């Protein structure tokens, strides 16, 4: 394509973008004025031109839901979430939408929750409506295959359904295509949550009987086994990848056999940058070798790359920081990258960024390497390393993300000082630390776990979860990390955890010479802060004011203190 052709193509693309924006604005106006038919037509016209317009899909889903068309709405919501999977991070509104669109499932959740720990018979769970009432719902299937279910009542309903499907498979009953596909979707959910659902001795006996039938296993039996344990761990598990299976079963085999085989092969190619011999580092590495954290399925999508300065302004509107010289091609270090979702997101969000992601765990790094999208592979490197030994790395960075690691070190301040040596003058660092005030329920649950002497095995994690939900500590179920085995282990069984207060953070930053820029969280909190200190004129960089705010609003940092700091210029 010559220069004239490129200019013509750019003009055509700009014109198409303007048309799409105009159509979207028209559809939104119609929706806001409750002209639902007009809004639906406008969104559909737009989607013919831009089928991957996630916001239009979501809005069309809302319109169709208001029109009483739940099936069509469900398909729109499912497609929107597939395009922007980071929306799964806030699971509560998704669960509410699902139950509104699928009343039989909502009713089943209420029945399962009320009867728990008793398992309702299948016909009572769905009150005669049958599996067909929910099994092919697009939004439910997307959720099951894309993200851990983070709702206690939904988890219990799915646990009962799993037991019923196992009973059918173990009894040799025929599985129609719809039932087999739903069983496979549920098996994929169980793999994603690392088999955190509770099981009974009767279920375990049925599973053992199916294992004894291997390798002479029917598709429905294999799908049932995959709901209770990873297929790659079964006797002759790898041979399952060589057989021909119906499509939904083959997808399960890919997830549970072929992909873990690929990760094992990738481990050997991951560079080892440092030795790992610190006692705490060794224990933390062992935990994440056994339970790579966190488990995720799809990387963030529909991400618009931004220059570094613009990225920081979006993360912290109104925050004051010195402009960074390397805003066009920043060098980024992700310290403690886990299974890779964060470095992948940064590589996509920061225009031109070159990212080095390190972690103690080869299992986590292999997962990350397998999941890295092809379009950023050339800009994202993984390596095994201990932060404490990085002083001799021989590299420096414009941006360092240490949002998931310092609180799991023997001395967080020591880790921060090492990272500070690698940060260029004027560079920025994103830090994450646990709030002692916000995690008071977590602290109480960790004390309960220690008192009852639960071990950090999968079986004990499952047992501890169910026991905790029967106590005054059951509100721990509002924490998202409660809903997978690796995340629950990280939450309640971690071998090393530090919690801090804002005054301690202020002292740490003063000691290291770092300047606090601001907290990064949803705009609602920023508005609440502004309203509280409107008369006093205290800025969003005032840590003393934030301490006062957290004291009045103790759940503010329920996830973590997530904040940005800047190193002084040379």
pLDDT digits (tens, 9 = 90+) for 3-48: 444 444 444 444 445 688 999 999 999 999 999 999 999 999 999 9
**Mapping DSSP to helix (H, G, I), strand (E, B) and coil, where does residue 73 land?**
helix
**In angstroms, rounded to a whole number, what is the distance separating the alpha carbons of residues 311 and 314?**
5
**In angstroms, rounded to a whole number, what is the distance separating the alpha carbons of residues 197 and 466?**
9
Burial of 556 (0-12, 13-18, 19+ CB in 10 A): buried
Phi and psi at 389, nearest 5°, equal -105, 10
The reported pLDDT for the residue numbered 1 is 45
**In angstroms, rounded to a whole number, what is the distance separating the alpha carbons of residues 489 and 459?**
11
Consecutive H or E run containing 135: none
**In angstroms, rounded to a whole number, what is the distance separating the alpha carbons of residues 384 and 337?**
10
The reported pLDDT for the residue numbered 173 is 67
Task: Give 524 or 39, the one with higher predicted confidence.
Answer: 39
**Mapping DSSP to helix (H, G, I), strand (E, B) and coil, where does residue 82 land?**
helix
The reported pLDDT for the residue numbered 326 is 61
The reported pLDDT for the residue numbered 435 is 97
Consecutive H or E run containing 60: helix 54-66
The reported pLDDT for the residue numbered 2 is 45
The reported pLDDT for the residue numbered 559 is 87
Helices (H), 254-361: 259-267, 279-290, 308-315, 341-349
pLDDT digits (tens, 9 = 90+) for 431-487: 999 999 999 999 999 999 999 999 999 999 999 999 999 999 999 998 999 999 999
Omega prior to 542 cis, within 30 of 0: no
The reported pLDDT for the residue numbered 152 is 97
**How far is the CA of 463 from the CAs of 200, 202, 494, in angstroms?**
11, 16, 17
Mean pLDDT of all residues belonging to the chain: 93
Phi and psi at 269, nearest 5°, equal -90, 0
**Mapping DSSP to helix (H, G, I), strand (E, B) and coil, where does residue 270 land?**
coil
Q: How distant is the alpha carbon of residue 246 from its chain centre?
A: 29
**Mapping DSSP to helix (H, G, I), strand (E, B) and coil, where does residue 214 land?**
coil
Helices (H), 152-215: 152-170, 177-192, 201-213
**How far is the CA of 140 from the CAs of 4, 35, 185, 274, in angstroms?**
49, 28, 9, 44
| Nearest residue to 285 via CA among 10, 21, 494, 535 | 494
- Place 174 in a pLDDT band, splitting at 50, 70 and 90: low
Pairing of strands 561-566, 331-335: unpaired
**In angstroms, rounded to a whole number, what is the distance separating the alpha carbons of residues 534 and 266?**
54
Indicate the DSSP class of residue 306.
B
pLDDT digits (tens, 9 = 90+) for 312-348: 998 888 888 988 866 678 999 999 999 999 999 999 9
Are the CB atoms for 266 and 236 separated by under 8 Å?
A: no
Sequence-distant (≥ 6) Cβ neighbours of residue 13 within 8 angstroms? none
Count of residues making up the chain: 570
The reported pLDDT for the residue numbered 535 is 74
**How far is the CA of 112 from the CAs of 121, 134, 283, in angstroms?**
10, 15, 39
Q: Of all residues in the chain, what percent are helix, strand and coil, respectively (each to 5)?
A: 60, 10, 30
- Place 526 in a pLDDT band, splitting at 50, 70 and 90: confident
Q: How distant is the alpha carbon of residue 551 from its chain centre?
A: 29
CA count, 13 A, side-chain hemisphere, 221? 18
Average pLDDT of 150-178?
92
DSSP 399-439: EEEETTTGGGSS-HHHHHHHHHHHEEEEEEEEEEEEETTTT
The reported pLDDT for the residue numbered 327 is 64
pLDDT digits (tens, 9 = 90+) for 107-117: 999 999 999 99
Query: How many other CB atoms are there within 10 angstroms of residue 432's CB atom?
Result: 19
- Place 75 in a pLDDT band, splitting at 50, 70 and 90: very high
The reported pLDDT for the residue numbered 13 is 44
Are the CB atoms for 108 and 157 separated by under 8 Å?
A: yes
The reported pLDDT for the residue numbered 221 is 95
The reported pLDDT for the residue numbered 539 is 86
**In angstroms, rounded to a whole number, what is the distance separating the alpha carbons of residues 418 and 515?**
17
**493-517: buried (b, 16+ CB within 10 Å) or exposed (e) per residue?**
bbeebbbbbbebbbebbeeeebbbb
pLDDT digits (tens, 9 = 90+) for 180-198: 999 999 999 999 999 999 9
**How far is the CA of 57 from the CAs of 35, 42, 44, 467, in angstroms?**
17, 11, 9, 41
Please say if the pLDDT value at position 492 is more than 60. yes
Cα radius of gyration (the chain): 25
**In angstroms, rounded to a whole number, what is the distance separating the alpha carbons of residues 355 and 564?**
18
Query: How many other CB atoms are there within 10 angstroms of residue 18's CB atom?
Result: 10
Average pLDDT of 374-389?
96
């Amino acid at each position: 394509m010559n220069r004239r052709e490129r200019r013509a193509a750019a003009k055509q693309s700009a014109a198409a973008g303007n048309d799409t924006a105009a159509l979207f604005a028209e559809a939104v106006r119609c929706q806001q004025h409750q002209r639902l038919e007009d809004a639906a037509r406008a969104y559909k016209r737009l989607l013919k031109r831009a089928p991957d317009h996630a916001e239009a899909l979501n809005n069309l889903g809302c319109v169709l839901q208001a029109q009483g068309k739940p099936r069509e709405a469900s398909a729109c919501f499912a497609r929107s979430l597939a395009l922007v999977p980071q929306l799964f991070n806030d699971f509560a509104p998704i669960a509410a939408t699902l139950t509104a669109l699928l009343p039989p499932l909502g009713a089943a959740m209420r029945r399962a929750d009320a009867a728990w720990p008793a398992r309702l018979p299948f016909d009572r769970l769905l009150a005669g409506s049958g599996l067909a009432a929910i099994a092919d719902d697009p939004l439910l299937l997307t959720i099951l295959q894309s993200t851990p279910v983070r709702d206690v009542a939904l988890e219990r309903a799915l646990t009962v359904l799993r037991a019923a499907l196992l009973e059918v498979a173990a009894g040799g009953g025929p599985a129609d295509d719809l039932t087999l596909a739903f069983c496979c979707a549920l098996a994929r959910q169980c793999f994603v949550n690392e088999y955190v659902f509770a099981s009974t001795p009767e279920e375990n006996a049925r599973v053992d009987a199916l294992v004894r039938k291997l390798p002479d296993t029917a598709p429905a039996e294999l799908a049932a086994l995959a709901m209770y344990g990873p297929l790659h761990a079964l006797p002759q598990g790898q041979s399952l990848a060589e057989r021909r299976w119906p499509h939904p079963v083959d997808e399960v085999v890919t997830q549970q056999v072929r992909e873990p085989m690929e990760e094992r092969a990738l481990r050997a190619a991951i560079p080892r940058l440092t030795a790992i011999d610190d006692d705490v580092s060794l224990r933390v590495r062992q935990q994440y070798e056994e339970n790579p954290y966190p488990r995720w399925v799809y990387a963030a999508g529909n991400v618009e790359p931004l220059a570094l300065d613009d990225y920081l302004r979006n993360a912290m509107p109104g925050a004051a920081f010195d402009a960074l010289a390397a805003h066009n091609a920043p060098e980024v270090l992700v310290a403690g990258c886990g299974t890779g979702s964060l470095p992948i997101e940064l590589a996509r969000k920061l225009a031109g960024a070159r990212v080095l992601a390190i972690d103690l765990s080869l299992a986590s790094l292999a997962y990350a390497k397998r999941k890295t999208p092809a379009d950023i592979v050339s800009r994202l490197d993984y390596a095994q390393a201990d932060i404490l030994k990085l002083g001799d790395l021989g590299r420096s960075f414009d941006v360092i993300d240490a949002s998931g690691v310092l609180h799991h070190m023997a001395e967080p301040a020591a880790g921060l000082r090492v990272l500070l040596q690698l940060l260029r003058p004027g560079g920025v660092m994103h830090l994450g630390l646990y709030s002692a005030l916000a995690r008071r329920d977590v602290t109480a649950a960790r004390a309960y776990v220690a008192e009852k002497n639960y071990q950090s095995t999968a079986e004990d994690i499952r047992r501890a979860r169910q026991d905790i939900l029967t106590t005054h500590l059951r509100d721990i179920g509002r924490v998202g990390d409660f809903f997978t085995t690796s995340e629950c282990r990280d939450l309640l069984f971690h071998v090393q955890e530090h919690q801090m207060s804002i005054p301690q953070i202020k002292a740490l930053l003063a000691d290291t010479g770092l300047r606090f820029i601001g907290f990064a969280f949803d705009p609602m909190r920023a508005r609440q802060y502004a309203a509280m200190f409107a008369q006093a004129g205290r800025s969003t960089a005032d840590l003393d004011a934030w301490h006062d705010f957290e004291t009045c609003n103790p759940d503010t940092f329920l996830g973590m203190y997530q904040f940005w700091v800047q190193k002084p210029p040379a």
